[in-house]
Amino acid sequence: MLANSDLPGGEFKNSSCGGNFRRQIGRYRPVQRNHCASSPEIARPAAQTLRGPPVGAAVHPDFVCLFIHSGNCRRVKRNRSVVGALAAGAMLASACSNSPASLPYTAGAKVDCGGKQTLTASGSTAQANAMTKFIEAYRQACSSQTLNYTANGSGNGIDDFLAGKTDFAGSDTPLSGDQYAAGKRRCGGADAWNLPVVFGPLAITYNLGAVDSLVLDAPTLARIFNGTITRWDDPALASLNASMPAEDIHVIYRSDGSGTTDNFQAYLQSASGGAWGKGAGKTFNGGVGTGAVGNTGIAAAVKSTEGAIGYNELSFALQQGLFAAEIKTPASRRSLRPVRIGTDTVGKTIKGAKITGAGNDLVLDLSSFYNPAQPDVYPIVLATYEIVCSKYPTYDVAKAVKAFLQAAIGPGQIELARNGYIPLSADFQARVSSAVDAISSVDAPKPE
C-alpha cells in the first residue's frame, strides 16, 4: 500500500497516462481508468535474437500505466499493490513522461557509425529489456547497422565471448581470476574491459493470493532460500508482517549460470548476519526449490505458482505484473517504513558505487549496497557490464562496437526508467564514454 509521501497531496496528474490518481480510503484509486489508450508499438530489429515471449506491459488498474515495449496494455486482475505500483510510486515522472529533456547529457551524445554491419553478442538476461532500447538507439543512429543479442545468461555470454563466438558479452558480474587471462588471449593480447552500462534493481517477487503486501529482511530471505524456513506462517515471517497464510513456500531459482544469482547470493552472504553461509557465485547454492531458466523463466514460474518466491531484475517483474516485497534494512528503524523499489531509493544506492578496476576496466564494488547506513536506500541492485576488447584484432569490429556502446550510453538511456532500469548519471556516463572512446584495433581503417 502506498503512503501519502509517495504522491504529495494525495493526487498525481499525468496526462500522458490518461488519468488522475487520488488517494481514497487508504489507497490510490484512479479517477479515470483508460490508462492504455495510446502506447506506440516499437519495432524490433528483424535479426534480434532476444529470448522469451514478446514483451508486454504490466499495469496496475488502481495506480499508473507502465508501458514497456508494446501497445497491448494488460490489467492485473487482483486489486493489490503489484510491483508496478511499488516501483511507480517513485518512478512516476520517468515511467509515463520520460523524455530526452530528463537526461540532458544524451542530447549531444556522439555516435560514430561504421564498421561491421551486424554485431553479435550474448549474455545477461537481466539487461535483455534494456538491450531492446540500446539496439533501437543504435539502428536509429546507424541505419545500416544492427546487433544480434542472445539473452542466454551471464555465464554463457562470457563463455561465448572468450571463445570468440561473439563480439562482446553482457554480464551482471565482471570478469574475474583466470577469465582475465582468457580475455587477453581472445583479444589478441589486449586486455578485456568491463564497462557498466545500466543499473537494475533486483525485485524479490512472490505469489500469495491472501497477502496484500510483504516485508522481508536479509536474514529471513536467506533462511527461505536455503530451506530453513519452509512455511509462509513461520514465526520469522509473522514478526515482519501482520498475518501470513498457512501455506508452503515454493522457492524458484535460476537453474542456469546467472549473474543475477551471483548478485542475489552476494547480498544474502553479506547482509544476512550469517544466516546464508553458502557464498555467492553464478550457480544457485541454496539446495532447495525449483529451477527456471533466465529472468523470464523465474518470472513466469512465480506468476503461475501459488506460494512462490523468486528473484528478478525489475523489468521482468513489471512485464509479468508480479508482486514485490519491501526490504527491511539495518537502517529501517521501527518508525520508518521498509524500502520500496523506486528511482529515488535505487538512485541513493548507486551513488555509493565505487570503481575498483584499473584504468578503463570499470569494475564496480557493489558491497556497499547491501547494508545501507541510510533509510530509504534499496539494497539489492546489480550493474550490468558489456565485456569488450580494449583493442580488437580487426578495425571493423572495433568501430562497430564503439558505435553501439556510444548509442547505448547516450540516446539508449532515455527510456530505461520506464522499463524498470536506472539510467547512468551524467558523471558516470562521462566516465564510461571516455572508456568507450579508448577502444581501438590492431589493424588500420580500410581505405574508402
pLDDT tens across the length of the chain (448 residues)? 222 222 222 222 222 333 322 222 222 222 233 333 332 222 233 333 543 222 222 222 222 222 222 233 333 334 344 444 444 333 433 343 333 344 555 555 789 999 999 999 999 999 999 999 999 999 999 999 999 999 999 999 999 999 999 999 999 999 998 999 999 999 999 999 999 999 999 999 999 998 979 999 999 999 999 999 999 999 999 999 988 999 999 999 999 989 999 999 999 999 999 999 999 999 999 999 999 999 999 999 999 999 999 999 999 999 999 999 999 998 876 546 799 988 889 988 988 888 999 999 999 999 989 999 888 899 999 999 999 999 999 999 999 999 999 999 999 999 898 888 999 988 899 999 999 999 999 987 776 5
Same fold, 109-197+381-441 and 201-351: yes
Count of Cβ atoms closer than 10 Å to residue 368 Cβ: 16
Q: Which of 311, 266, 345, 285 is nearest to 125 (CA)?
A: 311
Q: pLDDT value at position 70?
A: 26
Strand segments (E) across 288-432 = 290-292, 308-313, 323-324, 326-328, 354-355, 364-365, 381-389, 391-392
CA distance 10 to 7: 5
Hey, where are the domains in the chain? Answer: 109-197+381-441, 201-351
The CB-based long-range contact list for 37-45 (8 Å cut-off, 24+ gap) reads 38/71, 39/65, 39/67, 39/70, 39/71, 39/73, 40/71, 41/70, 41/71, 42/69, 42/70, 42/132, 42/136, 44/132, 44/135, 45/135, 45/136, 45/139, 45/146, 45/147
The domain made up of 201-351 has a fold known as D-Maltodextrin-Binding Protein; domain 2 (3.40.190)
Helix axes 426-437, 395-409, angle to 10 degrees: 170
Sequence-ordered list of residues with C-beta below 8 angstroms from that of 111, at least 6 positions apart, any chain? 138, 141, 142, 403, 406, 407, 410, 411
Q: pLDDT value at position 443?
A: 86
* Amino acid in the structure at residue 393: P
CATH number for the region 109-197+381-441 comes to: 3.40.190.10
Q: Is 307 exposed, middle or buried (0-12, 13-18, 19+ CB in 10 A)?
A: middle
Q: pLDDT value at position 374?
A: 87
**147 - beta bridge partners?**
119
The sign of the torsion formed by the CA atoms of 177, 180, 183, 185 equals: negative
Sequence-ordered list of residues with C-beta below 8 angstroms from that of 435, at least 6 positions apart, any chain? 193, 195, 360, 362
Predicted model pTM: 0.75
CA distance 187 to 162: 8
The two counts, helices (H) then strands (E), for the chain are 12, 20
